[in-house]
């Protein structure tokens, strides 16, 4: 077995690459020598039974956890162990399984927060460079307006984010990632708690963002129908390691995958 394996059958260079990543929680090995790559311009699915380590992997990639072994590479740069805010600045954005919107702040404020390097984020800037802060703020508002329009949330711009429905919160989470002009977006169960109509809308957004803006997606999902329709390739995780990966049809008929999901020999 090679030290790490690249995603097979793809033409483009890996954007994100995990090599032999290990994460232990006490005695439990949540991620076990996990290696896979996400290629530029794909919508890659990360699936696996509950407890397979999917969300832990997201936390490792985005710097909320540090791996106990192995390495994570993004655009040829090693990123494991870096703090979350630095990883965001590299262009890796994530959403959460349970939306973590800033409840008491408005939808617009949730979005305005995101862009990096705002002059007004320095406490003295509002005194020394008020014009520049105001100018930047105006540009951010325009950008946020476009994102809201894309997501169909314009009418909720000034509503407190906590008042949104679950589906709208998921859209807002997606919007938050877009405000950072990401190159890779990790979506943790974008479909959970969302009605089918909104889910179709969300899937359409993801597809158009990938095609038109070249944003690469890595998506954790349980809704197999959605995964098969939207994603290619699919990476299957079980007990913290990759047990299969490839195109939807290959993965669907892989005996290992069937066993992991059904819990016994085929």
Partner 1 sequence: MLEIVNYLAGFAILASVYAVLALGLNVHWGVTGLMNIGIAGFFALGAYTTALLTTPPPDPAKFEQFVFGGNLPGLFQRWGVGGDLWFLAGLAAAALVCALVALLIGLVTLRLREEYLAIVTLGIAETIRRVFLNESWLGNGSRGLYQIPKFLGNLAAPWLYDLLYAGVALALLLALFFIVERTLRSPWGRVLRAIREDEVTAAASGKNVFRFKLQAFVLGALIMGIGGGVYAHGFRFIDPFTFDPLLATFIVWVMLMVGGSGKSAGALLGALVIWGAWSGSQLLPGYLSNPNLRYLLLGVAMVLVLLLRPQGLLGRR
**Residue 32 or residue 188: which is nearer to partner 1 going by CB?**
188
Kindly state the smallest distance separating residue 254's Cβ from partner 1, in Å: 33
Q: Is the peptide bond before 244 cis (omega within 30 degrees of 0)?
A: no
> Of 94, 169, 170, 205, which one interacts with partner 1 (CB under 8 A)?
94
Instruction: State the Cα–Cα distance between residues 233 and 213, nearest whole angstrom.
Output: 19
> Interacting stretch for partner 1, rule CB under 8 A, among 3-11, 71-79, 89-97, 214-222?
89-97
- 216-220 and 43-47 beta bridge pairing: parallel
Q: Is 164 helix (H, G, I), strand (E, B) or coil?
A: coil
Instruction: State the Cα–Cα distance between residues 123 and 143, nearest whole angstrom.
Output: 23
Q: Is the peptide bond before 233 cis (omega within 30 degrees of 0)?
A: yes
**Residue 22 or residue 90: which is nearer to partner 1 going by CB?**
90
Backbone torsions φ then ψ of 191, nearest 5 degrees: -95, -10
Distance from CA of residue 48 to its chain's centroid?
A: 16
Q: Does 122 bind partner 1 (CB under 8 A)?
A: yes
Find tokens 């359409």 and name the residue: 204
Tell me which residues in 125-164 interact with partner 1 (CB under 8 A): 125-127, 133, 136-137
**Residue 156 or residue 226: which is nearer to partner 1 going by CB?**
156
Q: Does 105 bind partner 1 (CB under 8 A)?
A: yes
Residues binding partner 1 (CB under 8 A): 62, 64, 83-85, 88-89, 93-94, 96, 100-105, 109, 112-114, 116, 118-123, 125-127, 133, 136-137, 176, 180
């Amino acid at each position: 077995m090679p030290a790490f394996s690249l995603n097979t059958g793809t033409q483009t260079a890996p954007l994100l690459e995990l090599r032999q990543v290990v994460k232990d929680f006490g005695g439990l090995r949540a991620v076990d020598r996990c290696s896979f790559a996400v290629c530029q311009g794909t919508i890659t699915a990360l699936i696996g039974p509950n407890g397979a380590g999917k969300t832990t992997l997201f936390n490792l990639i985005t710097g909320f956890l540090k791996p106990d072994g192995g390495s994570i590479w993004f655009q040829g740069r090693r990123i494991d162990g870096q703090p979350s805010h630095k990883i965001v600045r590299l262009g890796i954005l994530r959403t959460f399984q349970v939306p973590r919107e800033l409840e008491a702040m408005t939808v617009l404020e949730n979005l305005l927060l995101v862009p990096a390097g705002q002059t007004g984020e320095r406490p003295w800037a509002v005194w020394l460079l008020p014009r520049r802060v105001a100018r930047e703020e105006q540009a951010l508002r325009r950008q946020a307006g476009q994102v809201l329009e894309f997501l169909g949330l314009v009418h909720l711009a000034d509503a407190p984010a906590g008042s949104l429905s679950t589906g709208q919160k998921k859209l807002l989470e997606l919007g938050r990632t877009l405000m950072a002009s990401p190159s890779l977006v990790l979506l943790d169960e974008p479909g959970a708690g969302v009605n089918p109509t909104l889910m179709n809308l969300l899937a359409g957004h993801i597809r158009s963002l990938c095609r038109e803006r070249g944003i690469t997606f890595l998506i954790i999902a349980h809704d197999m129908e959605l995964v098969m329709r939207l994603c290619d390739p699919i990476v299957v995780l079980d007990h913290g390691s990759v047990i299969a990966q490839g195109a939807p049809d290959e993965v669907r008929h892989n005996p290992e995958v069937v066993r992991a999901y059904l819990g016994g020999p085929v």
